Amino acid sequence: MLKQSRPRFDQATIPNDLCPIGTELITMLPGDWRSERPVVDRDKCVKCATCWLLCPVQCIVEMAAWFDISYDSCKGCGICATECPHNAIAMIIETEG
Amino acid sequence: MGIGHNTIAFHQDKCDGCGDCMTVCAEAKSGTTDTQHSRLKIVPSVAANDSFELAMCRQCGDPKCVLNCPSGSLTKDHETGVVPWDQEKCVDCLLCTVGCAYGGITYNAAAGHVMKCDMCDGDPACVKSCPTGALEYNKSAEIYNNYGELEDLFVPGLAACQGCNSELLIRHTMRKIGSNVVVATPPGCIAGMGTVGFNGKTGSKIPVFHPLLTNTASMLAGAKRYYNRIGRDVTMVALAGDGGTVDAGFQSLSGAAERGEQMLYICVDNEGYMNTGMQRSGSTSFGSWTSTTPVGETLRGKTQDAKNMPVIMMMHNCEYVATASLAFMDDYYEKLDKATAAAERGLAYLHVYSPCPTGWRIPPESTNEVCRKAVETNFATLWEFTPDEGLRFTRPVDNPLPVEQYLNLSGKYRHLDDEQLTHIQNSVKRKVAFLNGFMLATSGSEAQMQ
């Protein structure tokens, strides 16, 4: 990945009489919001990147021969499964299978 | 890594089985109109009457035909994504046709060998010939190959609803523009989902601040003037909702546009104050249910038309004004390029139609479908304007679908009666007619003045 953001500044340089905000990133991950999870059929995926393009959370990761999903941050909206031109993604209810 | 491949998508609901694609394919590849030489086949569906299936090579990521081929005539080209067939090496054993579950490689008895799609070197003839748009050349991979490696400038954990179009928009927008920015996110979903942070932490990896609903454009104008004075070149970006743009933020935006302040102002129009409980805004469309335009015995949703904000901004003669929809992401990326460049000269305004799954009562997985149908019905038109070149449609819709096909997707229009539907259809036609007239009046404004 090509880093775009600049390095975060050294917090030790903040004077003691200032209360800094926004110096750390939010670490919450929304993966546990899901009621359904997308599962990629590796044989059907043709790497067209449509899922990556339309995933609101941008949790699609590229593998050698297919695109996969990072379940840490996937909210389970199902847009990838709806938009996949080759029906390679299925939504599975979390409590089943 | 970092390689996706364009693909040919088939929309079964649009296919009428005319077979033009097969004729064109046979012509392009074998110089005959005999469809048995066609490398794709349209066949009647066995599952449903009056519908058709496509048998065509999908250029699989891990192709079974290649695994089965004993002579090495089939390979996977990981650069182009195509599975090319080399006739020199082929021993006509047909094992490849056994491996393929999609009917993508088939035996052509007339020619005496197998045949398969080679994607016409990235310019497929079948797609161009399809009269109904059932075959589509999906170029999502081009954007991925150009920008997929760039770091996402927001944290993964933003608290936007499932299927949120605004979240999709801000991630793509800021990844494309880069980190040499100051971003303003006034009150609304974009700030509320955690971009400006909470509990002392931040959701953005770029400088971001939270102006009031009313002063987004004036705060950015001041920040830009300060950077100009100290000689730093920084892009000012506003990621505002329709409430912060069309209603409360209007006077400061109008003033900044009139003064030609250098900034890129993006209005994410989800037709209401969705972050605070789905109240109506000046941008809410006619007939919409919102929490302040309820549906009951007397009131049937909003009784006024939406303010046509992109046209109002066009009348300010901004450096660049455009509308966009994320169902047409290539169009949006092009406009972002032009808008970022224009923001160095003056105010660039982007108006993005952005359905809200929660507030519009749509299932989260259909957000993109709603975006697409809005454009295909002409409910949302995609165009761009510059003072020199006038107005230009970037994706004209020649045969728009009836507006019901868009309205039926959202629960907020569920109650509409015939009279309201007619009103909406007429106002869509009027808006398009106005834009067409304006386009004719302004096309090549520079040239007309000579």
- For B3-8, what is the mean pLDDT? 93
Q: Do B247 and B180 lie in a common domain?
A: yes
Give per-residue pLDDT as tens, B63-78: 999 999 999 999 999 8
Q: Do B149 and B130 lie in a common domain?
A: no
Among B39-48, B178-187, B310-319, B401-410, the minimum mean pLDDT is found in: B39-48
Residue B308 lies in a domain: yes
Report the chain A residue with the minimal C-alpha distance to residue B139: A48
Per-position DSSP letters for B377-431, written without gaps between them: TTSS--EEEETTTEEEESS--SSPPPTHHHHTT-GGGTT--HHHHHHHHHHHHHH
* Token output for B106: 């088939």
Residues of B in contact with A6 (CB under 8 A): 179
User: Closest to A83 (Cβ–Cβ): which among B171, B198, B368?
Assistant: B368
What is the per-residue pLDDT for A11? 74
Give per-residue pLDDT as tens, B175-228: 999 999 999 999 999 999 999 988 888 999 999 999 999 999 999 999 999 999
Q: What is the CATH number of the domain that holds B68?
A: 3.30.70.20
What is the per-residue pLDDT for B429? 96
What band does B450 get if pLDDT is binned at 50, 70 and 90? low
Residue B229 lies in a domain: yes
**Last residue of one domain, picked from the residues B141, B176, B196:** B141
* Contacts (Cβ under 8 Å, ≥6 apart) of B266: B169, B173, B237, B238, B239, B240, B349, B350, B352
CA dist B330 and A49 (Å) reads 13
**Last residue of one domain, picked from the residues B84, B116, B141:** B141
Q: Do B175 and B110 lie in a common domain?
A: no
What band does B46 get if pLDDT is binned at 50, 70 and 90? confident
The answer for B 392-421 residues in CB contact with A (under 8 A) is none
Q: What is the mean pLDDT of chain B?
A: 94
What is the per-residue pLDDT for B124? 94
- For B225-237, what is the mean pLDDT? 97
> Are B151 and A1 within 8 A, CB to CB?
yes
Residue B349 lies in a domain: yes
Range of the domain at B77: 7-141
> Are A22 and B59 within 8 A, CB to CB?
no
Q: Do B332 and B377 lie in a common domain?
A: yes
What is the per-residue pLDDT for B446? 62
> Are A22 and B162 within 8 A, CB to CB?
no
Share of chain B above pLDDT 90, in %: 90
The ipTM assigned to this model is 0.93
- For A53-71, what is the mean pLDDT? 95
Q: Do B112 and B155 lie in a common domain?
A: no
Share of chain A above pLDDT 70, in %: 99
Beta bridge partners of B320: B348
What is the per-residue pLDDT for A16? 86
What band does B1 get if pLDDT is binned at 50, 70 and 90? low
What is the per-residue pLDDT for B198? 83
Are B308 and B266 a contacting pair, CB within 8 Å? no
pLDDT of residue A97 exceeding 70: no
Residue B450 lies in a domain: no
- For B76-101, what is the mean pLDDT? 93
What is the per-residue pLDDT for B50? 84
> Are A55 and B168 within 8 A, CB to CB?
yes
Among B35-44, B94-103, B427-436, B441-450, the minimum mean pLDDT is found in: B441-450
- Put simply, whether A35 touches B (Cβ < 8 Å) is no
The answer for B 320-349 residues in CB contact with A (under 8 A) is 326, 329
Are B348 and B318 a contacting pair, CB within 8 Å? yes
What band does B391 get if pLDDT is binned at 50, 70 and 90? very high
Report the chain A residue with the minimal C-alpha distance to residue B135: A85
User: Closest to A76 (Cβ–Cβ): which among B148, B162, B167?
Assistant: B162
What is the per-residue pLDDT for B367? 96
Share of chain B above pLDDT 70, in %: 98
Are B296 and B257 a contacting pair, CB within 8 Å? no
Min Cα–Cα distance to chain A from B445, Å: 36
Give per-residue pLDDT as tens, B248-263: 999 999 999 999 999 9
Q: Do B118 and B173 lie in a common domain?
A: no
- Put simply, whether A22 touches B (Cβ < 8 Å) is yes
Q: Do B177 and B196 lie in a common domain?
A: yes
pLDDT of residue A1 exceeding 70: yes
Q: Do B79 and B166 lie in a common domain?
A: no
Q: Do B216 and B136 lie in a common domain?
A: no
The length of chain A, given as a count of residues: 97
CA dist B224 and B250 (Å) reads 19
pLDDT of residue B101 exceeding 70: yes
Report the chain B residue with the minimal C-alpha distance to residue A85: B9
> Are B163 and A59 within 8 A, CB to CB?
no
Residue B2 lies in a domain: no
pTM, to two decimals: 0.93
Q: What is the CATH number of the domain that holds B211?
A: 3.40.50.970
Q: Do B322 and B375 lie in a common domain?
A: yes
Return the CA Rg of chain A. 18
What band does A83 get if pLDDT is binned at 50, 70 and 90? very high
Q: Do B331 and B240 lie in a common domain?
A: yes
Q: What is the residue whose two structure tokens read 């999908």? A: B58
- Give the number of domains in chain B: 2
Residue B1 lies in a domain: no
Report the chain B residue with the minimal C-alpha distance to residue A65: B61
Higher pLDDT, B310 or B199: B310
Nearest to residue B72, comparing CAs of B59, B56, B44, B91? B91
User: Closest to A22 (Cβ–Cβ): which among B64, B175, B202?
Assistant: B202
Burial of B163 (0-12, 13-18, 19+ CB in 10 A): buried
- For B129-153, what is the mean pLDDT? 94
- For B229-240, what is the mean pLDDT? 97
H or E stretch covering A7: none
What is the per-residue pLDDT for B445? 62
Residue B24 lies in a domain: yes
**Last residue of one domain, picked from the residues B91, B112, B141:** B141
Residue B255 lies in a domain: yes
What band does B364 get if pLDDT is binned at 50, 70 and 90? very high
Residues of B in contact with A14 (CB under 8 A): none
Please name the residue ranges forming H helices in B136-260: 140-147, 165-177, 189-190, 216-230, 250-259
- For B405-431, what is the mean pLDDT? 96
What is the per-residue pLDDT for B87? 92
The answer for A 45-74 residues in CB contact with B (under 8 A) is 45-50, 52-59, 62, 64-67, 70, 72-73
What is the per-residue pLDDT for A18? 85
Q: Do B368 and B418 lie in a common domain?
A: yes
pLDDT of residue B447 exceeding 80: no
Higher pLDDT, B422 or B48: B422
